[in-house]
Structure 1
Amino acid sequence: MIENALILLREELSSYMTALGDPASVVIENISLLGSDKDDLLRENLVISLVNIEQENSLKNAPVYQKNEISAIYENPPIHLNLYVLVSANFTSGTPPNNGYLLALKRLSLAIKFFQGRSVFTPASSTISLPAPLNDLSNPEINSLRLVLELYSLSFEQVNHLWGSLGGRQIPSVLYKVRMVTISERKALREAPLIEEIHIQTQKYQQTIL
């Protein structure tokens, strides 16, 4: 599900950039490859990278069973995740007097504008053609996928730690908290019949006084 969440964001952002007449390539890749022998995967792209995952604590105490008409099915509750997604603009080209850095700032601004104007994404409400399996709404996991984006601001110290962990080379970027991806194996642990009636038996006790 995590990969499908990022693919959905990539497809929607890419479609938006194309509609603006600025079809910047949007890729899902590890931004820490910047400056390595594989950084050609990042060049001239808006790069979507997953930098952290946290469990949504408010939904940790979900029920451990699901009921149908005849039984209760016990299974481990699903895990609800928040994803921290970094959108980076890695552009080195440009048309004078604008250089690659200004081009990166322009395209990053467009990405922020897009997510400001539309912060909720679902495969069911998408107006673009999505790749498989996101186009399979008969799949309950795909049909229930709902992402809500929130701009996540970092302090200067946190920015320094983030880019230090990613290799130290900082480029124009913005961080979003993406709520919420649900992961479940949907594996039944056991099944039990429903309790339909409760019978209470009482017993009378006789006390003998000597």
Structure 2
Amino acid sequence: MIADVLVFLKNRLNAHFHSLSGAGLADAGEDKVVFVDGDQKPDSTSFKLGAVSLLLFNIERDVINRQADNYVRVADDGSTRKVSPEININLHILFVAKFKDYEQSLHYLSMILSYFQANHYLDRQNAPELGNPIDHLVLELNTLTTTQQNELWGILRSSYLPSLVYKVKALTFVDDGGMPAADISEIILNQERL
């Protein structure tokens, strides 16, 4: 599901950039949003020149949006099932613009900001290509402090490049299996006198 979200966002931005091809974008025919190459030296992260690289750098558990009863779910047929609790996660995504022309890097970041400002909530109504297990996505711009940026770029072992950080909120992993829950009328209490 995590890969589906990243591919979906990459494809949405590329489609948006292709639709703006008349807006003075160089090489409008090729994809401008790419993933970081997985076959890199282990001591540094390199970003593709002439593109915006998309990188997942953190997965965070969202403990605020939890079910009231973590272990019981009512099925479509009305029966209750004992299931493992849902896990809600947030993805922290880094968009890094690397172009020969610094101004072009800033231009692409501005277009990403504008796109997600207008499309911060994506569901099957406004994004029919959204994958089946994903109900909706909420994108929120995150501002890192200078210390956090320093730590992030230190982990990436790269010099700073113009970038944006977004939090993609809340993906839900659900236990689709589960076991039938015991009916309260069938529970027999063992009472012994001491």
Partner in structure 2 of residue 44 of structure 1: 50
Partner in structure 1 of residue 192 of structure 2: none
Residue in structure 1 matching 2:73, options 63, 66, 87: 66
CA contact (8 A) 1:53 1:83 kept: yes
Aligned partners of 2:41 and 2:161: how far apart in 1?
10
Q: Per-residue deviation at 1:184?
A: 2.6
Specify the SS of the correspondent of 1:6: helix
Q: Cα deviation per residue 1:57-89 (whole Å; 9 max; x = unaligned)?
A: 113454311124463211101210011111111
Partner in structure 2 of residue 179 of structure 1: 169
Aligned partners of 1:17 and 1:35: how far apart in 2?
31
Aligned partners of 1:76 and 1:47: how far apart in 2?
36
Q: Cα deviation per residue 1:1-40 (whole Å; 9 max; x = unaligned)?
A: 111111121111111111111335211226995997984x
Q: Per-residue deviation at 1:43?
A: 2.6
Partner in structure 1 of residue 34 of structure 2: 27
Q: Which has the larger radius of gyration?
A: 1
Q: Which runs of 5+ in 2 are unaligned?
A: 188-194
Specify the SS of the correspondent of 2:14: helix
CA contact (8 A) 2:95 2:165 kept: yes
TM-score where L is the length of structure 1: 0.73
Partner in structure 1 of residue 160 of structure 2: 170
Aligned partner letter, 2:16 = Y
Aligned in 2, Cα 1:167/1:38: closer, same or farther, shift over 3 Å?
Answer: closer
2:82 is equivalent to residue 82 of structure 1: no
Q: Per-residue deviation at 1:186?
A: 1.8
2:59 is equivalent to residue 53 of structure 1: yes
Partner in structure 2 of residue 125 of structure 1: 126
Aligned partner letter, 2:154 = G
Residue in structure 2 matching 1:150, options 125, 140, 162: 140
Aligned partners of 1:110 and 1:57: how far apart in 2?
32
Partner in structure 1 of residue 190 of structure 2: none
TM-score where L is the length of structure 2: 0.78
Aligned in 2, Cα 1:71/1:195: closer, same or farther, shift over 3 Å?
Answer: farther
Q: Cα deviation per residue 1:79-108 (whole Å; 9 max; x = unaligned)?
A: 10011111111222xxxxxxx222111111
* Number of residue pairs aligned between Structure 1 and Structure 2: 179
CA RMSD of aligned residues (A): 3.1
Aligned partners of 2:123 and 2:147: how far apart in 1?
34
**In percent, how many aligned pairs have the same letter?**
29
